[in-house]
Amino acid sequence: MKRALCLMLLTVLIFLAGCGTAPVRKEPEIPAQRPVSEYVNPDVTYAIDVFDPWEPMNRRIYNFNAIFDNVIFLPVVSAYEFVLPTFVQKGITNFFNNLTEVTNLTNSLLQFKFVKAVHTFGRICINTTVGIGGLIDVATLNDGITREDEDFGQTLGFYGLGPGPYLVLPILGPSNVRDTTGLVGDSVVYSMMIGQLIGHLGLDDTQEDVLNYSLTAVYAIDKRSNEPFRYFKTGSPFEYDLIRKLFLIKRQFQIDN
C-alpha cells in the first residue's frame, strides 16, 4: 500500500515537472522547407511507428527516469559496486536470479514449454543446494543448463494477447499494457514465495517488513548494476522512438521463443 502511494506521488511529481513555464514565442512560425504534412502520410504505418496513445506522459516519464537514474539510481549503484568485491556482487546476482527463477518455472508451465520447465526446475534444485542457496550458479557452470527467461507478459503474448499501448514505467522503463500486467502477475507470485520463505524465519512483523524492503532495494540495485543501458547514450535525438521500437521487437521475439 505504501509502495502504491509512493508510486502515485512520483507520478504526480512527473506531471508537475512536465508543466513548467510555457515557452514564450517571440516570432511567428514559418513552415518548414520539408514539412511533415508533405512527407508523412497519417494513414500509413511506418517502420518506426508503435501504438503509443499516451506518448506525452510516456515521454515525461522517460525524461524523469533519466534524471532519477543520474541523480539517485546510478550513484547508489556506483557506491554498491565500489564497496562490494566483484565476487560478492556476482553472488548477489546469482541469489536473486535463483529467487526469481520461480516465475520462469510457472510461466514455462503455463505455456506448456516442458523442456524449459524441466531445465528451470533442475536449476532451482542444483543452485539452491549445491549452489548454497543460489549464491553460485552451479547449474550453468557445471552442467551447462542456462537460464530460461519466461515471464507472465510472454505467457499472455503466447495466448495471443497483443502488446496494447506502449507504457514507460517510472524507474523500470519501457513496457506496455500487456507486459505491465505480466509484471504485476509475476510480482504476486514472487511476493507470495518470498512471504512464505520469510515466514519460516520466525521474525516479528516489523523485522519481516524491514527484511522485505531491504531485499527489494538490493534486488533493484543489483538489477540496475547488471543493466548497461544509459539514458541518452545513443546520441540520437530520436532515442525515445528507437528504444520504443526496439522494445517491441525484442518482446515479440521473446514471445516467439
Sites of contact with other proteins (CB under 8 A): 18, 23, 25-36, 39-40, 44, 46-49, 55-56, 59-60, 63, 66, 227-229, 231-238, 240-243, 245-246, 249-250, 252-254, 256-257
Q: Considering the complex, what minimum distance in angstroms separates the CB of residue 54 from other proteins?
A: 11
Q: Considering the complex, what minimum distance in angstroms separates the CB of residue 156 from other proteins?
A: 19
Closer residue to other proteins in complex, CB, 31/202: 31
What is the C-alpha separation between 57 and 55, in angstroms, rounded? Answer: 5
Query: Is 104 within 8 Å of 147 (Cβ atoms)?
Result: yes
Q: Considering the complex, what minimum distance in angstroms separates the CB of residue 110 from other proteins?
A: 20
Closer residue to other proteins in complex, CB, 168/194: 168
Which residue type sits at 60?
R
Query: Is 149 within 8 Å of 104 (Cβ atoms)?
Result: yes
Q: Considering the complex, what minimum distance in angstroms separates the CB of residue 220 from other proteins?
A: 18
Q: Could you give the angle at the alpha carbon of 246 between the alpha carbons of 243 and 106, nearest 5°?
A: 110
Distance (Å) of CA 105 to CA 115, 129, 157: 11, 17, 17
Closer residue to other proteins in complex, CB, 46/112: 46
User: How long, in residues, is the chain?
Assistant: 257
Residue among 165, 164, 162 at smallest CA distance from 57: 165
Closer residue to other proteins in complex, CB, 148/194: 148
Closer residue to other proteins in complex, CB, 28/160: 28
Query: Is 138 within 8 Å of 94 (Cβ atoms)?
Result: no
Q: Considering the complex, what minimum distance in angstroms separates the CB of residue 52 from other proteins?
A: 8
Q: Residue 249, class by beta-carbon neighbours within 10 Å (0-12 exposed, 13-18 middle, 19+ buried)? A: exposed
Closer residue to other proteins in complex, CB, 78/214: 78
Q: Could you give the angle at the alpha carbon of 167 between the alpha carbons of 214 and 6, nearest 5°?
A: 35
